[in-house]
Amino acid sequence: MVRCLAPVLPRAWPGAAPKVNPLIEDLKWMAGSWVGRAFGGRMEEHWTAPAGGTMFGLNRVVSDGETTSREWISIETVDGGLAMRVRPGGFEGTRTVAFELSKTEGTRAEFERPDNDFPARIVYARAGDALRIELIPRSDSTRTPITIELAKGDLASHP
């Protein structure tokens, strides 16, 4: 049984891209462990393989031997589409932000929530053993986009 931790997504925000209907299995290319440098430390993002209509991810940043940031992430089948639910702060986080899958092509997926200032869009793109994550603000935001480059990693190792 899957429990939703966030409110049900609106079907579409004003001006949202047309709805796409991929299967969770279309995102299997995201599965695995990914590592790189971001936010002042070593960033890790780990994704499970798709199963039962879901994928689960976790993200952390370690700097000077301390975890400075963490998130729990899920991608779930919702109302005929896919939604990414991000919980900043992990279990201690007080809110979950949901993004709707708006575009997918090959090993690129774009999730959006136009009413969110930052990020309004999250883009994942894989090329071989590299994973790029783009955090894109709304067009009227003063925030700067962030691009994170990660490489295929090993869940069992951490230098």
pTM of the model: 0.83
pLDDT, residue 156, reads: 65
Dist. CA 79–CA 41, nearest whole Å: 37
Report the C-alpha gap between 4 and 76 in whole angstroms. 9
The Cα 25–Cα 104 span in angstroms is 12
Question: Domain 24-152 belongs to what topology?
Answer: Lipocalin (2.40.128)
Burial class, 36, CB count within 10 angstroms (exposed 0-12 / middle 13-18 / buried 19+): middle
**Contact of 50 with 25, CB cutoff 8 Å:** yes
3 pLDDT above the threshold of 50: no
First and final C-alpha spacing in the chain: 37
Q: Any idea where the domains of the chain sit in the sequence? A: 24-152
Whole-angstrom distance, CA of residue 38 vs CA of residue 149: 8
Mean pLDDT for the chain overall: 86
Rounded mean pLDDT, 117-129: 96
| Confidence band, pLDDT 50/70/90 cuts, at residue 26 | very high
Measured CA to CA, the distance from residue 58 to residue 87 in angstroms comes to 10
pLDDT at position 93, please? Answer: 66
Q: What percent of the chain has pLDDT over 70?
A: 82
